[in-house]
Structure 1
């Protein structure tokens, strides 16, 4: 009795029928992809990216359905393409599309009862078996007659449908002839173009922000302008390089094929607690300090260090870079030296400790006594306004790319707001997150708007580590995280580079340049700089704390520079559009635990050349060995039919071989640690 009463209470508590809202349409369309965190943020893409779309769609019973991808471009034009089942029995439908215009795109997935193909499936089984022959023809004729009455269809198509409908029920016409009429090519083509559909259901829309290509594709080079042209004087002091002297280095950077030149902070540097060589607390009178200790009596984040020049000199540098095909990226580091004007004008922007001192930055055991971090909770509105003002200042001077220092140490909602504000006014501005942090936080920075991100690449060195890492970038996070694979930074000189010799530098450059659409090099990498400060994972005599002029040209003359190889990598990147995509990276197998194999393939429909582009990369990731092994390829991943031989040409040496799915390779880390193979076959 009590149970019955409880059930009655539940019924009485149910909402009235009028309040009910169905969560699915007549044909369910579920689990759309791409989307980010249950559609909390828009998916991000870039001009020219080939994006895979997917949805789960099905209906009750055994009748067939069709599924269509519906795209609305930023100019309002509509595009559609049929989706196909990814595998029988999965109800997962897929299609891909190349997004070719910047701006806000919208996509939906439409599903419909495929009346014609449902009938056809039944007809080709029942009619030859003599089951309900005339009834089946009558049903098919009725479908075509209804379609012919649709004034929204082309006139020629309606005429074709009327003729076919009549033929299906023509008395005296042999059954075999009427059955053949079902698959008449013109009729099949017309129905494929405009299906005979019923019960049409369309999903809710999803948004994709498509940004300019440089937001995802580019080769980056970093140098300190104060080191370019710096000279040590007789008294031990230094004459700093300037924007004018640094501009002399730009032709060499452009000649190596780089697209973006990244500059560490160019602002005045504080004197209080200034760091000496190798992060020492002992400072000499001529030590320039860290550029990240921003701010002095000469100004803060909107000022230029007097040693580098003036705004006019900076504009000259920007224009010189632009003429050489280089964009300049500027560091945006929201922190301050104790001498920054903010410390006196806005002390509330910092954290004051119980003893009255202001907290400096720490990442134990690292200490940065020369830097005060911002406290974003004391005056969030004021800090937001100032950050936007500073960025706008540099944007107005012509900077469109910002490398953001340590964004993971600032609130996520701050970045979500700031990037949205900047991109609303300047959609071509790009933000790169220097985020070596926990996966969830690094990925969230991408979700809220960062166009690119540093990654864990520098610490992924073995074959198994790289396979997992590359596959994750291509399969798990490409809807919101675009990797920029820097091979080194002023803060990072890994053991692999410290002890791997020149082969290690070549291997790491090739992996970065070929696996990701964006990669980067910090100056000195091409000179094989590999001596670390004892107990640290960074170069000795670190450029963060001192001037570091280099003899690049002399090293090239002596054959002691990696610059020619880097140039070759960038030339290959520009010549092969498959390398400008991320989602197309596929891992292949080898019998050796140090031979990494991956491919990149781009269909002819997307290359712009009329031909498919297929590259196969085979790398010995052990810089100390010679390796011989057999590689095993899934040749279907780059458009070759199984069992068919094909030609490969090594783009580094020009050598051509005939390969199959299984091939012997020998890679000597000291002479040729990798193959970059251009695949040529019937399909590729």
Structure 2
């Protein structure tokens, strides 16, 4: 290996860097992105470092000076803030700092009792350094620099009078901003892909348009985009930003699944009638494929109208992108090579033993990848043209990583605002790699994390990887009704909503959560009884809320709090605090730009009142250990005088959580968060 001769000074451990620079780190517009590095050199001369921060159009920002931080003497930090979407780059430049070296030498020698004769060379060296800075200065700064240099050379003055002008705080501040940089050493260049802010922060609501229609003579009718649009004001009223729709394409008729299919893993024994709607994920029939709209929902123009209405209400549509086909999908006849053929000549359907999905054919990406890639990109662009800018990708972990990397960045080349959510309930290595290669967000293990220890461990993992992996905490999905919701009662629905909405900058709810739907298809299952995946499921939203049997007002309040507090729109600043009861969890989030700070305490038990004492890490909140401050509960409106140690009592049947905003007589200096 050939050594790099230009690396005069040491630059290591640069962050944020993903896979040694193989992939881009991530940020969003306006986010304060910490950049850290280890910078060092031989000997005792002072070193310093800058970050060179370059915009997508090649424009370089002014050098961003780094500062030492933490316990290690050679660790350096600064913060950069992107102001537009696209591919940014940064590099760390290390350099010898002769002004700092001179400053330190003069101070220690004077402190050691050395006189003007001993410091003659030091004083002249300092004067020459000031002359170098003065040559580039104008006006009043130049006068101060030349006067300070003259004082260093004036042998008629006392030693302290000679050095005082050069060490004056005002001049030192100017010299910090206009340093003498020697032995400049450039580190490698790294990429940061910057998305729009919705890539990090948002509230998602999932519902099936086909279930939004009247019940006639006791029988549900099939909804359309027009009837589904009537649900949109209610979703907007709850404060959601994104309306996520399952697949809206024609549904296969061959091997169509009927109601409660999940109750019978080997297949549904019911006779499928003409009114059984099937699974939206069994995509394609004689009526069209992935680029078509299910005729029962309406036309493409009806869908465009639905998208437009969503935007009128301050939201946007996320559409499911599921790469699989029903047996009667047009692809099966036109491109049988895109699927796997068994020895008996039949096409393999999807299986996850003991479950069988006879209504779905997986795509084999090893057969004709060029043709498959081109068709998938074409389909994506069809829906982009219809107004979709967010895609929730179904089971991306079952498709090749290089395909996703190609597809996502082909789209980003022309449309950097398009976002991709990975529905990847899979092994950690695959989940993280999907994020590295380009997915904007990812479903997470939050649904199955219920104990304090596992919630804290998982929260720390996500915060430490915030430079490339952004979570979306869904409290439930059409596939996942966690046992905590099945048996925890209404308080558990509040608990899970608070945890998801406050811990993660992006969270999601599947329709029915606000109505406390909690009945599983069978004991031990996470599938809903009468799953909406296989049948229409109309709901009386207004009636439930009028009767006080809806969580909608609570969800509305959580989303209001999230919008009001920039701290809750962050991930990397998540910090956990000690509390002496394992059934209580305490965490905080801060925002370095607004100096906003929010402190949350949640009772994890939905059946019992829990009491405990917090031991807050006040430094994480920008406070000293001895300080008192006012906390105001954003849920109840109550205010308390708090400090490091505080008594907490939470009754889940009254209110299982505190969401505290912090008021302090002086501005809270929020510490930087590190990747």
Task: Identify the TM-score tier after normalising by the shorter chain.
Answer: over 0.9
2:378 counterpart (372, 386, 389): 389
Match 1:228 to one of 187, 195, 212: 212
- The alpha carbon displacement at 1:187 in A equals 1.3
Q: Deviations over 1:315-350 (max 9, x none)?
A: 111111110011001100000000100010000000
SS at match of 1:670: coil
The 8 Å contact of residues 626 and 668 in structure 1, kept in 2 or not, is answered as yes
- The within-5 A match list for 1:349-428 is 349-428=338-417
Distance 1:140 1:602, change over 3 A: farther
TM-aligned CA deviation for residue 435 of structure 1: 0.3
Q: Deviations over 1:622-661 (max 9, x none)?
A: 1121011101101111111220100000001111110000
Q: Which residue of structure 2 aligns with residue 134 of structure 1? A: 117
Residues 486-497 of structure 1 mapped to structure 2, 5 A cutoff: 486-497=474-485
1:81 corresponds to which residue? 64
Within the alignment, does 1:633 sit opposite 2:616 as a pair? yes
* Deviation larger for 360-369 or 342-351: 360-369
Q: Which runs of 4+ in 1 moved over 4 A?
A: none
Shift in alpha-carbon separation, 1:179–1:90, aligned structure 2, 3 A: closer
Provide, for residues 275-327 of structure 1, a one-character-per-residue CA deviation record: whole Å limited to 9, x for no partner.
11111342233210000000001000001001000111111111111100110
Give the whole-Å Cα distance in 2 for the aligned partners of 1:547 and 1:559. Answer: 24
Following superposition, the deviation at residue 45 of structure 1 comes to 1.1
Greater shift, 297-306 or 115-124, is seen at: 115-124
Question: Structure 2: which 5+ residue stretches go unaligned?
Answer: 262-267, 669-675
| CA distance 1:465–1:173, change in 2 (3 Å) | same
Q: Which stretch shows the higher mean deviation, 93-102 or 464-473?
A: 93-102
Structure 1 residue 446 and structure 2 residue 435: aligned?
Answer: yes
CA drift at 1:579:
0.9
Residues 431-475 of structure 1: per-residue CA shift (max 9 Å, x gap): 100000001101111111110110000000000010001111101
Cα deviation, residue 137, structure 1: 4.9
Report the alpha carbon displacement of residue 81 of structure 1 after superposing the two structures with TM. 2.5
Of 72, 92, 95, the residue aligned with 1:112 is: 95
Deviation at 1:135, TM superposition (A): 4.7
Alignment partner, residue 182 of structure 2: 198
Alignment of 1:296-307 (within 5 A): 296-307=285-296
Aligned counterparts of 1:513 and 1:432: Cα–Cα separation in 2: 17
1:515 aligns with 2:503: yes
Which residue pairs with 1:218 in the alignment? 202
181, 184, 191: which one aligns with 2:168: 184
Cα deviation for residue 90 of structure 1 reads 4.1
SS in 2 for 1:29: strand
Tell me whether 1:46 sits opposite 2:28 in the alignment: yes
Q: Is 78-87 or 583-592 further displaced after alignment? A: 78-87
Distance (Å, rounded) in 2 between the aligned partners of 1:87 and 1:137: 36
3-state SS of paired residue (2:81): strand
Is structure 2 residue 547 aligned with structure 1 residue 565? no
Give how far 1:88 is off.
4.5
Partner of 2:458: 469
2:672 match: none
Is the contact between residue 25 and residue 201 of structure 1 (CA under 8 Å) also seen in structure 2? yes
Query: Using the alignment, how far apart are the partners of 2:258 and 2:549 within structure 1?
Result: 30
Question: What is the CA-CA distance between 1:124 and the residue it aligns to?
Answer: 1.2
1:222-260 Cα deviation digits (max 9, x unpaired): 0000000153557x6x53100000000000000100000
Q: What's the TM-score, normalizing by structure 1?
A: 0.94
- Say which of 633, 641, 656 aligns to 1:650: 633
Check 1:23–1:338 CA distance in 2 against 1; reply closer, same or farther (3 A cut): farther
TM norm structure 2: 0.95
Is 1:432 the counterpart of 2:432? The answer is: no
The Cα RMSD (Å) is 1.6
* CA-CA distance at 1:393 after TM superposition: 0.6
Secondary structure at 1:665's aligned position in 2? strand
Residue 668 of structure 1: CA displacement? 0.8
> CA offset at residue 491 of structure 1?
0.1
1:276 maps to 2:258: yes
Distance 1:638 1:77 in 2: 33
2:81 to 95, 98, 105: 98
Match of 2:601 among 614, 618, 621: 618
Q: Which moved more, 1:305-314 or 1:43-52?
A: 43-52
Q: Identify the match of residue 251 of structure 1 among 233, 238, 241.
A: 233
Q: Is the 8 A contact 2:149 2:166 kept in 1?
A: no
1:167 match: 151
Q: Does 1:58 align with 2:58?
A: no
Report the Cα distance in structure 1 between the residues aligned to 2:365 and 2:111, rounded to whole angstroms.
Answer: 76
What is the CA-CA distance between 1:584 and the residue it aligns to?
0.5
> What are the Cα deviations for residues 471-511 of structure 1, in whole angstroms up to 9, with x where unaligned?
11101x21111101010000000011111001111011111
More relative contact order, 1 or 2 (CA 8 Å, 6+ apart)? 2
Q: Verify: 1:286 aligned to 2:275, yes or no.
A: yes
